[in-house]
Structure 1
Amino acid sequence: MTIQAGDSIPSAKLMQATAEGPKETTTEELFGGKTVVLFGVPGAFTPTCSAKHLPGYTENYEALKAKGADVIACMAVNDAFVMGAWGQAQGVADKLVMLADGSAEFTKKLGLELDLTARGLGVRCQRFALVAKNGKVTHVAVEAPGAFEVSKAEAILAAL
Structure 2
Amino acid sequence: MIEQGQKLPDVTLTQLTNDGMQTLTNKDLFDGKKVVLFAVPGAFTPTCSNAHLPEFITLADKIKAKGVDAIYCVSVNDAFVMKAWGESQNAEEISLLADGDASFTKALGLDKDTAGFGGTRSSRYAMIIDNAEVTGLFVEQGKEFEVSRAEYVLEKI
Tell me the equivalent position of 2:41: 42
CA distance in 1 between counterparts of 2:117 and 2:90 reads 28
What runs of 5+ residues in structure 2 fail to find an aligned partner? none
User: Is 1:73 the equivalent of 2:72?
Assistant: yes
Moved more, 18-27 or 62-71: 18-27
Matched residue type, 1:56: E
Alignment of 1:72-111 (within 5 A): 72-93=71-92, 95-111=93-109
Separation of aligned partners in 1, 2:83 and 2:27: 21
CA deviation digits over 1:78-106, x for unaligned, max 9?
0000000000000012x111000000000
The sequence identity of aligned pairs, in percent, is: 48
Q: CA deviation at 1:20?
A: 3.2
Aligned residue among 109, 112, 131 for 1:114: 112
Aligned runs of 1:6-155 on 2, under 5 Å? 6-93=5-92, 95-117=93-115, 119-155=116-152
The CA distance in 2 between the partners of 1:111 and 1:136, in whole Å, is 16
Structure 1: which amino acid aligns with 2:64?
Answer: K
- Structure 1 residue 39: deviation in Å? 0.1
RMSD: 0.7
Kindly provide the CA deviation profile for residues 122-143 of structure 1, in whole angstroms up to 9, marking residues without a partner as x.
Answer: 1000000000101111000000
**How many residue pairs end up in the alignment?**
157
Query: For residues 76 and 155 of structure 2, what CA distance do their matches in structure 1 show?
Result: 27
CA distance in 2, matches of 1:96, 1:144: 24
* TM-score normalised by structure 2 residue count: 0.98
**SS of equivalent residue, structure 1 residue 56:** helix
User: Structure 1 runs of 4+ off > 3 angstroms?
Assistant: none
* Gap regions ≥5 residues in structure 1: none
How far does residue 23 in structure 1 lie from its aligned partner after superposition? 1.1
CA distance in 1, matches of 2:119, 2:145: 21
